Amino acid sequence: MQLTYLEAIRQGIWEEMDRDPTVFCLGEDIGIYGGAFKVTDGFIDRFGPERVIDTPIAESAIVGAAFGASLTGMRPVAEFQFMDFIGCAFNQISNMVAKTHYLWGAPAPLVLRGPSGGYVHGGPFHSQNPEMWFVHNPGLKVICPATPYDAKGLIKAAIRDNNPCIFFEHKYLYRRIKGEVPTEDYVVPIGKARLAREGRDLSIITYAAMVHTALEAAEILNKDGIDLDILDLRTVSPLDREAIAQTVKKTNKVIILHEHSRTGGLAGEIAAIINEEAFDDLDGPIVRIAGLDSAIPFSPPQEEHYLPQVSDVVREVRRLKAY
Protein backbone atom coordinates (compact mmCIF):
# COMPACT_ATOMS: atom_id res chain seq x y z
CA MET A 1 0.00 0.00 0.00
CA GLN A 2 1.32 3.49 -0.87
CA LEU A 3 1.30 5.65 2.24
CA THR A 4 2.58 9.08 3.13
CA TYR A 5 5.20 9.32 5.86
CA LEU A 6 2.54 10.74 8.21
CA GLU A 7 0.01 8.03 7.42
CA ALA A 8 2.64 5.38 7.97
CA ILE A 9 3.33 6.67 11.48
CA ARG A 10 -0.37 7.05 12.15
CA GLN A 11 -1.08 3.52 11.03
CA GLY A 12 1.84 2.20 13.09
CA ILE A 13 0.53 3.70 16.31
CA TRP A 14 -3.04 2.68 15.46
CA GLU A 15 -2.04 -0.94 14.91
CA GLU A 16 -0.06 -1.05 18.15
CA MET A 17 -3.03 0.34 20.08
CA ASP A 18 -5.24 -2.23 18.41
CA ARG A 19 -2.84 -5.03 19.26
CA ASP A 20 -1.77 -4.12 22.80
CA PRO A 21 -4.20 -2.78 25.44
CA THR A 22 -1.30 -1.31 27.45
CA VAL A 23 -0.51 1.20 24.69
CA PHE A 24 -2.12 4.62 25.12
CA CYS A 25 -1.53 8.15 23.82
CA LEU A 26 -1.29 11.45 25.63
CA GLY A 27 -0.43 14.93 24.49
CA GLU A 28 -1.76 18.35 23.63
CA ASP A 29 -4.79 18.51 21.30
CA ILE A 30 -4.44 14.87 20.24
CA GLY A 31 -8.05 13.90 21.05
CA ILE A 32 -11.04 15.33 19.22
CA TYR A 33 -8.77 17.68 17.24
CA GLY A 34 -6.49 14.78 16.28
CA GLY A 35 -3.20 16.60 16.87
CA ALA A 36 -1.70 19.68 15.22
CA PHE A 37 -0.55 17.50 12.30
CA LYS A 38 -3.43 14.98 12.55
CA VAL A 39 -1.25 12.01 13.43
CA THR A 40 -3.89 10.86 15.94
CA ASP A 41 -6.88 11.90 13.86
CA GLY A 42 -9.77 9.54 14.60
CA PHE A 43 -7.98 7.78 17.44
CA ILE A 44 -10.30 9.06 20.16
CA ASP A 45 -13.34 7.67 18.34
CA ARG A 46 -11.74 4.29 17.97
CA PHE A 47 -9.90 3.91 21.27
CA GLY A 48 -11.85 6.23 23.57
CA PRO A 49 -10.86 9.20 25.72
CA GLU A 50 -9.28 6.94 28.36
CA ARG A 51 -6.56 5.91 25.92
CA VAL A 52 -6.29 9.12 23.90
CA ILE A 53 -5.73 11.77 26.51
CA ASP A 54 -5.70 15.51 25.89
CA THR A 55 -3.35 17.03 28.43
CA PRO A 56 -2.77 20.51 29.77
CA ILE A 57 0.01 22.46 28.02
CA ALA A 58 2.60 21.07 30.38
CA GLU A 59 5.41 19.09 28.78
CA SER A 60 7.05 18.07 32.07
CA ALA A 61 3.73 16.70 33.25
CA ILE A 62 3.26 14.83 29.97
CA VAL A 63 6.64 13.14 30.22
CA GLY A 64 6.37 12.61 33.98
CA ALA A 65 2.94 11.04 33.64
CA ALA A 66 4.07 8.86 30.74
CA PHE A 67 7.03 7.68 32.79
CA GLY A 68 4.89 7.01 35.88
CA ALA A 69 2.40 5.02 33.81
CA SER A 70 5.24 3.04 32.23
CA LEU A 71 6.38 1.98 35.71
CA THR A 72 3.02 0.23 36.13
CA GLY A 73 3.61 -1.75 32.92
CA MET A 74 1.85 0.53 30.45
CA ARG A 75 3.37 1.62 27.14
CA PRO A 76 2.58 5.32 26.77
CA VAL A 77 3.09 7.20 23.52
CA ALA A 78 3.41 10.90 24.32
CA GLU A 79 3.15 13.52 21.60
CA PHE A 80 5.01 16.79 21.54
CA GLN A 81 3.11 19.21 19.36
CA PHE A 82 6.50 20.29 18.01
CA MET A 83 9.75 18.70 19.11
CA ASP A 84 11.04 22.21 19.83
CA PHE A 85 8.94 22.07 23.01
CA ILE A 86 10.70 18.99 24.29
CA GLY A 87 13.14 21.35 25.98
CA CYS A 88 10.36 22.21 28.47
CA ALA A 89 10.53 18.60 29.69
CA PHE A 90 14.28 18.26 29.53
CA ASN A 91 14.82 17.51 33.21
CA GLN A 92 12.18 14.79 33.24
CA ILE A 93 13.75 13.15 30.21
CA SER A 94 17.39 13.58 31.08
CA ASN A 95 17.42 13.10 34.84
CA MET A 96 14.33 10.99 35.49
CA VAL A 97 13.60 8.83 32.46
CA ALA A 98 17.03 8.28 30.89
CA LYS A 99 18.81 7.31 34.12
CA THR A 100 16.16 5.12 35.62
CA HIS A 101 17.29 1.71 34.35
CA TYR A 102 20.97 2.29 34.99
CA LEU A 103 20.42 3.64 38.50
CA TRP A 104 17.65 1.56 39.98
CA GLY A 105 16.83 -1.05 37.40
CA ALA A 106 13.38 0.13 36.42
CA PRO A 107 12.52 -0.17 32.73
CA ALA A 108 10.66 2.76 31.18
CA PRO A 109 8.93 1.55 28.01
CA LEU A 110 7.68 4.85 26.68
CA VAL A 111 7.77 6.74 23.42
CA LEU A 112 8.12 10.50 23.10
CA ARG A 113 7.30 11.53 19.58
CA GLY A 114 6.57 14.58 17.50
CA PRO A 115 7.44 16.67 14.47
CA SER A 116 10.86 18.21 14.07
CA GLY A 117 12.89 19.76 11.30
CA GLY A 118 12.96 22.71 8.96
CA TYR A 119 12.18 23.59 5.31
CA VAL A 120 8.63 24.67 6.25
CA HIS A 121 9.41 28.23 7.39
CA GLY A 122 8.29 27.47 10.91
CA GLY A 123 10.75 29.89 12.45
CA PRO A 124 13.18 29.40 15.32
CA PHE A 125 10.70 27.61 17.61
CA HIS A 126 8.95 25.32 15.14
CA SER A 127 11.82 24.10 12.95
CA GLN A 128 14.48 22.73 15.25
CA ASN A 129 16.15 19.34 15.19
CA PRO A 130 16.86 18.83 18.88
CA GLU A 131 17.99 15.19 18.62
CA MET A 132 21.52 15.96 19.80
CA TRP A 133 20.22 17.08 23.20
CA PHE A 134 19.30 13.44 23.70
CA VAL A 135 22.09 11.67 21.86
CA HIS A 136 24.29 12.96 24.68
CA ASN A 137 21.97 11.33 27.24
CA PRO A 138 22.84 7.66 27.79
CA GLY A 139 19.70 5.60 28.32
CA LEU A 140 17.61 6.99 25.49
CA LYS A 141 17.09 5.62 22.01
CA VAL A 142 16.80 8.37 19.42
CA ILE A 143 15.08 7.55 16.15
CA CYS A 144 14.84 9.71 13.01
CA PRO A 145 13.22 7.86 10.07
CA ALA A 146 13.39 9.02 6.46
CA THR A 147 10.82 6.86 4.66
CA PRO A 148 7.22 5.74 5.22
CA TYR A 149 8.38 2.11 5.50
CA ASP A 150 10.93 2.91 8.17
CA ALA A 151 8.65 5.38 9.94
CA LYS A 152 5.99 2.73 10.45
CA GLY A 153 8.40 -0.07 11.25
CA LEU A 154 10.36 2.05 13.69
CA ILE A 155 7.38 3.57 15.54
CA LYS A 156 6.13 0.02 16.12
CA ALA A 157 9.58 -1.09 17.25
CA ALA A 158 9.79 1.91 19.58
CA ILE A 159 6.41 1.16 21.14
CA ARG A 160 7.46 -2.47 21.70
CA ASP A 161 10.91 -1.54 23.03
CA ASN A 162 11.45 -1.74 26.78
CA ASN A 163 13.42 1.50 26.81
CA PRO A 164 12.52 5.17 26.45
CA CYS A 165 12.55 6.06 22.76
CA ILE A 166 12.46 9.55 21.31
CA PHE A 167 10.95 9.49 17.87
CA PHE A 168 11.60 12.49 15.62
CA GLU A 169 9.15 12.77 12.75
CA HIS A 170 10.34 15.09 10.03
CA LYS A 171 7.50 17.48 9.38
CA TYR A 172 8.76 18.35 5.89
CA LEU A 173 8.32 14.71 4.95
CA TYR A 174 4.90 14.25 6.58
CA ARG A 175 2.83 14.63 3.43
CA ARG A 176 5.53 15.20 0.81
CA ILE A 177 6.74 11.66 0.39
CA LYS A 178 4.86 8.47 -0.26
CA GLY A 179 6.22 4.98 -0.19
CA GLU A 180 5.30 1.33 -0.26
CA VAL A 181 4.28 0.05 3.16
CA PRO A 182 3.32 -3.60 3.69
CA THR A 183 -0.11 -4.33 5.08
CA GLU A 184 1.14 -7.17 7.27
CA ASP A 185 2.78 -6.56 10.65
CA TYR A 186 6.49 -5.74 10.62
CA VAL A 187 9.07 -3.80 12.61
CA VAL A 188 12.33 -2.15 11.63
CA PRO A 189 15.09 -2.82 14.15
CA ILE A 190 16.25 0.17 16.22
CA GLY A 191 19.97 0.91 15.93
CA LYS A 192 20.38 -0.39 12.39
CA ALA A 193 21.25 1.87 9.46
CA ARG A 194 20.33 1.08 5.85
CA LEU A 195 21.86 1.92 2.51
CA ALA A 196 19.52 4.34 0.79
CA ARG A 197 21.65 4.19 -2.33
CA GLU A 198 24.53 1.96 -3.24
CA GLY A 199 27.52 3.58 -4.92
CA ARG A 200 31.26 3.27 -5.10
CA ASP A 201 32.78 6.76 -5.24
CA LEU A 202 31.91 8.66 -2.11
CA SER A 203 29.77 8.14 0.99
CA ILE A 204 27.14 10.41 2.45
CA ILE A 205 26.11 9.57 5.97
CA THR A 206 22.85 11.20 6.91
CA TYR A 207 19.29 10.65 8.13
CA ALA A 208 15.70 11.93 8.03
CA ALA A 209 14.87 14.62 5.42
CA MET A 210 18.54 14.91 4.45
CA VAL A 211 18.40 11.42 2.97
CA HIS A 212 16.16 12.82 0.25
CA THR A 213 18.45 15.81 -0.25
CA ALA A 214 21.37 13.43 -0.71
CA LEU A 215 19.36 11.26 -3.11
CA GLU A 216 18.53 14.30 -5.25
CA ALA A 217 22.18 15.30 -5.28
CA ALA A 218 23.09 11.75 -6.27
CA GLU A 219 20.89 11.97 -9.38
CA ILE A 220 22.63 15.17 -10.50
CA LEU A 221 26.10 13.79 -9.73
CA ASN A 222 25.36 10.52 -11.45
CA LYS A 223 25.28 12.39 -14.74
CA ASP A 224 28.87 13.42 -14.07
CA GLY A 225 29.75 9.80 -13.37
CA ILE A 226 30.00 10.26 -9.61
CA ASP A 227 28.35 7.37 -7.79
CA LEU A 228 27.25 8.08 -4.22
CA ASP A 229 26.83 5.57 -1.41
CA ILE A 230 24.15 7.00 0.89
CA LEU A 231 23.83 5.63 4.38
CA ASP A 232 20.52 6.41 6.14
CA LEU A 233 21.24 6.05 9.85
CA ARG A 234 17.54 5.74 10.82
CA THR A 235 18.54 5.66 14.50
CA VAL A 236 20.98 8.31 15.74
CA SER A 237 21.41 6.75 19.18
CA PRO A 238 22.69 4.08 19.43
CA LEU A 239 24.60 4.60 16.18
CA ASP A 240 25.26 1.73 13.80
CA ARG A 241 29.07 1.85 14.01
CA GLU A 242 29.50 -1.12 11.76
CA ALA A 243 27.48 0.34 8.90
CA ILE A 244 29.37 3.64 9.23
CA ALA A 245 32.72 1.85 9.02
CA GLN A 246 31.54 -0.28 6.09
CA THR A 247 30.58 2.60 3.82
CA VAL A 248 33.86 4.39 4.56
CA LYS A 249 35.84 1.25 3.79
CA LYS A 250 34.00 0.97 0.49
CA THR A 251 34.37 4.54 -0.83
CA ASN A 252 37.24 5.98 1.26
CA LYS A 253 35.70 9.45 1.15
CA VAL A 254 32.84 10.62 3.34
CA ILE A 255 30.52 13.53 3.85
CA ILE A 256 28.30 13.75 6.89
CA LEU A 257 25.12 15.69 6.32
CA HIS A 258 22.65 16.95 8.93
CA GLU A 259 20.23 19.81 9.45
CA HIS A 260 21.11 20.86 12.97
CA SER A 261 23.93 23.24 13.87
CA ARG A 262 27.47 22.19 13.03
CA THR A 263 29.14 22.65 16.42
CA GLY A 264 28.53 19.73 18.73
CA GLY A 265 26.47 18.12 15.97
CA LEU A 266 26.20 14.46 15.09
CA ALA A 267 28.84 14.81 12.35
CA GLY A 268 31.52 15.35 14.98
CA GLU A 269 30.58 12.08 16.69
CA ILE A 270 30.47 10.17 13.41
CA ALA A 271 33.85 11.60 12.42
CA ALA A 272 35.23 10.28 15.71
CA ILE A 273 33.76 6.84 15.03
CA ILE A 274 35.35 6.81 11.57
CA ASN A 275 38.61 7.83 13.20
CA GLU A 276 38.33 4.86 15.56
CA GLU A 277 37.03 2.29 13.11
CA ALA A 278 38.32 3.19 9.64
CA PHE A 279 41.06 5.81 9.84
CA ASP A 280 43.40 3.96 7.51
CA ASP A 281 40.67 3.70 4.88
CA LEU A 282 40.28 7.45 4.44
CA ASP A 283 41.56 9.06 1.24
CA GLY A 284 40.46 12.56 2.13
CA PRO A 285 39.23 14.77 4.93
CA ILE A 286 35.88 14.05 6.52
CA VAL A 287 33.51 16.79 5.34
CA ARG A 288 30.58 18.17 7.29
CA ILE A 289 27.51 19.77 5.76
CA ALA A 290 25.28 21.13 8.50
CA GLY A 291 23.07 23.97 9.68
CA LEU A 292 24.67 27.23 10.74
CA ASP A 293 25.69 27.87 14.33
CA SER A 294 22.69 30.05 14.99
CA ALA A 295 18.98 29.71 15.61
CA ILE A 296 16.96 28.71 12.54
CA PRO A 297 15.75 31.97 11.01
CA PHE A 298 12.18 32.48 9.87
CA SER A 299 12.29 34.28 6.54
CA PRO A 300 12.46 31.81 3.59
CA PRO A 301 15.68 33.17 2.02
CA GLN A 302 17.37 33.08 5.43
CA GLU A 303 16.08 29.63 6.30
CA GLU A 304 17.26 28.34 2.93
CA HIS A 305 20.70 29.79 3.62
CA TYR A 306 20.79 28.24 7.09
CA LEU A 307 19.78 24.71 6.04
CA PRO A 308 21.75 22.33 3.81
CA GLN A 309 20.53 22.34 0.19
CA VAL A 310 21.00 19.92 -2.71
CA SER A 311 23.40 22.45 -4.27
CA ASP A 312 25.57 22.35 -1.11
CA VAL A 313 25.82 18.58 -1.35
CA VAL A 314 26.66 18.66 -5.07
CA ARG A 315 29.37 21.28 -4.51
CA GLU A 316 30.96 19.50 -1.55
CA VAL A 317 30.90 16.12 -3.27
CA ARG A 318 32.70 17.56 -6.32
CA ARG A 319 35.26 19.25 -4.07
CA LEU A 320 35.95 16.11 -2.07
CA LYS A 321 35.97 13.89 -5.17
CA ALA A 322 38.73 16.10 -6.61
CA TYR A 323 40.79 15.96 -3.44
Which of 9, 30, 69, 135 touches other proteins by CB under 8 A?
A: 69
Which of 149, 168, 174, 207 touches other proteins by CB under 8 A?
A: 174
Q: Which of 101, 121, 126, 212 is catalytic?
A: 126
Active site (annotated) includes residue 136: no
Least distance CB 81 / other proteins (angstroms): 8
Cis check: omega of the bond before 138, within 30 degrees of 0: no
Is 241 a binding residue for other proteins by CB under 8 A? The answer is: no
Is 306 a binding residue for other proteins by CB under 8 A? The answer is: no
Which of 42, 182, 285, 300 touches other proteins by CB under 8 A?
A: 42
Per-residue x/- marks for other proteins, 259-278, CB under 8 A?
A: --------------------
Q: How many residues does the chain have?
A: 323
Is 143 a binding residue for other proteins by CB under 8 A? The answer is: no
Stretch that binds other proteins, among 118-126, 220-228, 253-261, 309-317 (CB under 8 A): 118-126
Q: Rounded CA gap, 82 and 124, in Å? A: 12
Is 100 a binding residue for other proteins by CB under 8 A? The answer is: yes
Least distance CB 11 / other proteins (angstroms): 6
Is 185 a binding residue for other proteins by CB under 8 A? The answer is: no
Total residues at interface with other proteins (CB under 8 A) = 73
Which of 16, 30, 71, 79 touches other proteins by CB under 8 A?
A: 71
Q: Rounded CA gap, 116 and 83, in Å? A: 5
Which of 5, 16, 51, 253 touches other proteins by CB under 8 A?
A: 51
Which of 96, 187, 220, 273 touches other proteins by CB under 8 A?
A: 96
Residues facing 111 on adjacent strands: 77, 165
Least distance CB 159 / other proteins (angstroms): 11
Is 181 a binding residue for other proteins by CB under 8 A? The answer is: no
Q: Rounded CA gap, 136 and 164, in Å? A: 14
In one-letter notation, the amino acid at residue 64 is G
Which of 25, 84, 109, 269 touches other proteins by CB under 8 A?
A: 109
Identity of the residue, 118 or 199, whose beta carbon is nearer to other proteins in the bound complex: 118
Stretch that binds other proteins, among 59-67, 203-211, 253-261, 267-275 (CB under 8 A): 59-67
Least distance CB 37 / other proteins (angstroms): 5
Is 66 a binding residue for other proteins by CB under 8 A? The answer is: yes
Active-site amino acid positions? 126
